Chain A
Amino acid sequence: MLHLETGKYAFYVWSAYGLTAAVFAAMIVGSIAHSRRWKARAEALGRK
């Protein structure tokens, strides 16, 4: 059973998990966007 009740420590625990999720999301989106952007650019220039 999940123990999601964090009582008086809720702010610290959920802030830590929220921040981790946000940084991971930024790293995932940033990495994929960086790769796709340059792949599209390289392919466009290669066709010219």
Chain B
Amino acid sequence: MIPAPAFLSNPERFMAFSRWAAPMFGAIAVVLGAAGLYLGWTAPEDYQQGATVRILFIHIPTAWMSEFVYACLAVASLLSLVWRQLLADAAAQAAAPLGAGFTLLTLATGSLWGRPEWGTWWVWDARLTSVLVLFLIYLAYIALRASMDDETKAARAAAILALVGAVNLPIIHYSVVWWNTLHQGASVFRAGGSALAPVFYWPAILMALAYTSAFGSLWLVRIRGEVWRRRAEAAALRAART
């Protein structure tokens, strides 16, 4: 049997770490977010997009987060399946609602940018459709966990769903390469350097770091909640037996 990392097998150590790490990440997110918003709203309007360029400072980071959170969920699910660790499963369960929130924002802010720029709220192109599929996978994961009373079976079934759903991540990423899409290709990280001018690049980067830090904070808070929930349910079970 492969030994689990001590961090994953020791909830006490995690609770001690997350007690100070969650507020620290939250504070970092506030500082970076304030700096990103300041740079974003002091930047000049884009000569083609006008003021709608400011939507990109919140759309690009949330689009990255949709995929990043799912990658975290999938890795936690894999660790949960391999090591059957409480924390890995709690981490996967805690990531899902946050990922669904980021993906909902990706779809909504993208639509609000697309209407004035593309002339339509929605098109069934490969990028938009694959992100919609990601949102549905998040909802399916949450629904699956909620629908089963046996927590062990629910964890295993949800982990398998999460790993199967991970196939969608490269599809989202390369959709703009593999198919002709209305959605533009990579514009921030790409060969030959960013397509964004520095006045637009830095607000997007700072906001992405702020979103990542905010996710780190909220993820830790939710994992702590999951640990408490499982402790409460174990205590309730013990009380019922005595």
Give residues in A with beta carbon < 8 Å to B.
1-10, 12-13, 15-17, 19-20, 23-24, 26-28, 30-32, 34-39, 41-42, 45-46, 48
Complex contact A38–B44 (CB within 8 A): no
A1/B42 in contact, CB under 8 A: yes
Which residues in B have their C-beta under 8 angstroms from that of A5?
A: 51
Q: How far is the CA of A42 from the CA of B238 in the complex (A)?
A: 12
B235/A26 in contact, CB under 8 A = no
User: Min CB distance, A10 to chain B, in Å?
Assistant: 8
The answer to whether A13 and B225 have CB atoms under 8 Å apart is no
The answer on a CB contact under 8 Å between B228 and A41 is yes
Task: Please measure, in the bound complex, the distance between the C-alpha atom of A39 and the C-alpha atom of B228, giving whole angstroms.
Answer: 5
Interface residues of B (CB under 8 A from A): 38, 41-45, 50-52, 54-55, 58-59, 62, 97-98, 101, 104-105, 108-109, 112-113, 115-116, 214, 218, 221-222, 224-226, 228-229, 231-232, 235-236, 239
Count of A-B contacts with CB under 8 A?
A: 104
Residues of A within 8 A of B113 (CB): 12, 16
Q: Which of A12, A17, A39 has its CB near the most chain B CB atoms (within 10 A)?
A: A12
Q: Could you say which of A16, A32, A42, A45 contacts B55, with CB atoms under 8 Å apart?
A: A16
Contact A27–B55 (Cβ < 8 Å): no
Contacts of B235 in A (CB 8 A): 42, 45-46, 48
A38→B229 contact, CB < 8 A: yes
Bound CA span A3–B116, Å:
19
A45 contact set on B, CB distance < 8 A: 232, 235-236, 239
Give Cα A13–Cα B101 distance, bound, in whole angstroms.
19
Instruction: Name, among B116, B221, B236, the residue most crowded by chain A CB atoms within 10 Å (CB to CB).
Output: B221
A13-B54, A34-B222, A38-B232 given; A48·B239 CB < 8 A: yes
- With A5-B51, A34-B222 known, 6 other A-B pairs at CB within 8 A are A7-B51, A9-B52, A10-B51, A13-B54, A42-B229, A45-B236
User: Smallest Cβ distance from B105 to chain A, in angstroms?
Assistant: 5
Which residues of chain B are within 8 angstroms of A46 by Cβ–Cβ distance? 231, 235
